[in-house]
A and B are shown apart, each in its own frame.
Chain A
Amino acid sequence: MQIGIFTVGDVTTDPTTGRTPTEQERIRATVEIAKKAEDIGLDVFATGEHHNPPFIASAPTTTLAYIGAQTERIILSTATTLITTTDPVLIAENYAKLQHLTGGRVDLMMGRGNTGPVYPWFGKDIRQGINLAVENYALLHRLWREDVIDWEGRFRTPLQGYTATPRPLDGVPPFVWHGSIRSPEIAEQAAYYGDGFFHNHIFWPASHTAQMVSLYRRRYEHYGHGKAEEAIVGLGGQFFMRKNSQDAWNEFRPYFDNAPVYGHGPSLEDFTEATPLTVGSPQQVLERTLSFQEYAGHYQRQLFLVDHAGLPLKTVLEQLDLLGEILPDLRKGFAEGRPANIPDAPTHASLVSAAGGGHDSTVYAEGDSATGTSDRAPEDPDVERILEGEL
């Protein structure tokens, strides 16, 4: 079981002090939080992706590479990578590079993005959201698996004899999760490829989660990747805890009441009942978290949102300390009654091993576009010789 945190990097005023952090402070805080996550023994740090204020979650691979350089073990992931508005060619390049730099500590979570104006900013149309996710990911999937591709689609300029560089580390692409709250097409997509499915599981009733996860599991089996219960599922989650439960309620309430997304709406009491948000003692957070399996089945990844709504860095780090204290019990609880056939979430090491070992995936080429030799057709006999390293 992988346990970690995810953040969208919101720059929000602390309602108890009226102070808003600068972008610089928020970006630095994000790095601190990620390093702390590794310190307390978490497995995953994920961030991304927004391209508008009040967020600092653009340019995710810059942030992740910087964190990767200062950590040893933690998996760097995204929450989410906008597969709709980001060029799949750039995703292929950026995350393969990140793999090489971090020794393979990389995976990604694809999302469509729900901010309407972002689509036209990037020359896209939100009404094509599902189609963009389907076509762009199909291209990305090939870019990481075929050294030279010819491709033509609806949303991007065609590619002829194109090689995305660097090639994935050890010839093994990063593992991919697909995230969606309510779109069955995305659960279907994740199942088709045998990729992971992640439900954000915050801000929404657990019934959405149960419905999407159940569809994904059923279709995962349908596409022959394994039994439904063996499908790769991740969930989000949100908590605020203090040793004394009432302290947690009192301290978190002003942040909740003024939060982006749900603030000035339902009461904290109603929202904790209607959604997976848990406010209370560490023991209560532990028990609620372990109850997610009742409707999601045995799953592979649990990520928590801990740093939003203007919570100061100091408070976030304290929350992580408390999470660190219940971490052994969380792991024990997740392991309890877990059948032996339930796989762990794939990692770079497990994927390399499944591929029969890693290999150098470098595409050795003798020229560049200036020499005219890089525009290769796959049937060009030179291509095979290049791949064999003869040229």
Chain B
Amino acid sequence: MKRIVIVSAGLSVPSSTRLLADLLGEATEGAIRARGAEVSVEYVELRPLAHALADHLLTGFPAGELSTALEAVRAADGLIVVTPVFSASYSGLFKTFFDVLDQGAIDGTPVLIAATAGTPRHSLVLEHALRPLFSYLRAVVVPTGVFAASSDFGAVAGSAGAGADTIGKRVERAAAELAVLVTASGGGGAAHDPHGHGSSRRVEDEFDNPTPFEELLRGARGDSIR
């Protein structure tokens, strides 16, 4: 079972961000099934977590639902992340969620990046803001990002007059790319290190199988940083 988690940072209800998230979710589900794998899709809406995120910044630990959401992202086989564009970048709420994610939580996890805005002039936000963020988090970002301006949704609804590169096409292409990465991996999310990238030990590993003290003592003398 491949676990897809969709993080959506829309604020209004209904939001165009959630609308795009739904399109990407359905397309990804179909693309993974088409490759013969089972798939589950779950949504993490950030709006109801806004207070908990602010509290986390102040206290350093996640409360209740936020804790569940962070764990879902950590355990995902693939992520779809969708943010509205605020002041030429991802929204503060969206960024805060990834700010409080534990280090290494999405190492090697395939991610599809997507954004919405009122005008197509923001379309490069995917390349200028989202892609570097997820590269920093050591996720594997699929080549196609999906940007939707308000006018794109018109093209979806009344597809009669839409050109060759409709949002539907881009959604399909991005979903197919994500499906390839997700089904190629062993599954089980970052904890299982699907791509073998994460050679660094995670906090959880230390609790299950602590580094023996003699090794810590030797390490302290070397050039390791702990």
Binding between chains A and B: yes
Alpha-carbon gap, A82 to B10, bound state (A): 45
Alpha-carbon gap, A184 to B212, bound state (A): 11
Q: Contact mask B71-99 → A, CB, 8 Å, 1/0?
A: 00000000000000000000000000000
Taking a contact as CB atoms under 8 Å apart, the answer to whether B207 and A205 are in contact is no
Alpha-carbon gap, A261 to B210, bound state (A): 30
Say yes or no for A189: interface residue by CB 8 A criterion: yes
Pick the residue among A129, A262, A264, A271 that contacts B226 (CB under 8 A).
A129
- Chain B residues lying within 8 Å of A266, measured Cβ to Cβ, are 55, 58-59, 63
Say yes or no for B220: interface residue by CB 8 A criterion: yes
- Chain B residues lying within 8 Å of A138, measured Cβ to Cβ, are 217, 220
Alpha-carbon gap, A211 to B203, bound state (A): 11
- Chain A residues lying within 8 Å of B59, measured Cβ to Cβ, are 203, 261-262, 265-266, 271
Say yes or no for A127: interface residue by CB 8 A criterion: yes
Taking a contact as CB atoms under 8 Å apart, the answer to whether B210 and A265 are in contact is no
Taking a contact as CB atoms under 8 Å apart, the answer to whether A185 and B55 are in contact is no
A-B pair number, CB within 8 angstroms: 76
Pick the residue among A153, A205, A219 that contacts B210 (CB under 8 A).
A219
A130: nearest chain-B partner, CB-CB: B226
Alpha-carbon gap, A71 to B68, bound state (A): 49
How far in angstroms is the closest Cβ of chain B from A95?
Answer: 22
Taking a contact as CB atoms under 8 Å apart, the answer to whether B61 and A185 are in contact is no
Which of chain A's residues 263-282 have a Cβ closer than 8 Å to chain B? Answer: 263-266, 270-271, 274
Which of chain B's residues 192-226 have a Cβ closer than 8 Å to chain A? Answer: 203, 206-207, 210-213, 216-217, 219-221, 224-226
Taking a contact as CB atoms under 8 Å apart, the answer to whether B221 and A185 are in contact is no
Alpha-carbon gap, A128 to B226, bound state (A): 5
Say yes or no for B54: interface residue by CB 8 A criterion: yes
Say yes or no for B163: interface residue by CB 8 A criterion: no
Taking a contact as CB atoms under 8 Å apart, the answer to whether B226 and A185 are in contact is yes
Alpha-carbon gap, A135 to B211, bound state (A): 16
- Chain B residues lying within 8 Å of A205, measured Cβ to Cβ, are 61
Taking a contact as CB atoms under 8 Å apart, the answer to whether B206 and A185 are in contact is yes
Assuming the A-B contacts A128-B226, A154-B221, A205-B61, are A184 and B216 also in contact, with contact meaning beta carbons closer than 8 angstroms in the complex?
no
- Chain A residues lying within 8 Å of B14, measured Cβ to Cβ, are none
A267: nearest chain-B partner, CB-CB: B55
B63: nearest chain-A partner, CB-CB: A274
Q: Contact mask B11-55 → A, CB, 8 Å, 1/0?
A: 000000000000000000000000000000000000000000011
Taking a contact as CB atoms under 8 Å apart, the answer to whether B226 and A135 are in contact is no
- Chain B residues lying within 8 Å of A185, measured Cβ to Cβ, are 206, 210-211, 216, 226
Q: Contact mask A168-209 → B, CB, 8 Å, 1/0?
A: 000000000000001011011101100000000001110010
Pick the residue among A153, A188, A203, A262 that contacts B221 (CB under 8 A).
A153
- Chain B residues lying within 8 Å of A182, measured Cβ to Cβ, are 203
Alpha-carbon gap, A182 to B220, bound state (A): 19
How far in angstroms is the closest Cβ of chain A from B216?
Answer: 5
Assuming the A-B contacts A129-B226, A265-B54, are A184 and B220 also in contact, with contact meaning beta carbons closer than 8 angstroms in the complex?
no
Taking a contact as CB atoms under 8 Å apart, the answer to whether B63 and A131 are in contact is no
Identify the A interface with B (CB < 8 A): 127-132, 134-135, 138, 153-154, 182, 184-185, 187-189, 191-192, 203-205, 208, 211, 215, 219, 223, 261-266, 270-271, 274
In order of increasing CB-CB distance, the 9 nearest A-B pairs are A265-B58, A130-B226, A192-B213, A184-B206, A131-B220, A134-B220, A135-B220, A266-B55, A265-B55
Identify the B interface with A (CB < 8 A): 54-55, 57-61, 63, 203, 206-207, 210-213, 216-217, 219-221, 224-226
Q: List 18 A-B contacts (CB under 8 A).
A: A131-B220, A131-B225, A131-B226, A134-B217, A185-B206, A187-B210, A188-B211, A188-B212, A189-B213, A189-B216, A191-B213, A219-B210, A261-B59, A262-B58, A264-B58, A265-B55, A265-B57, A270-B55
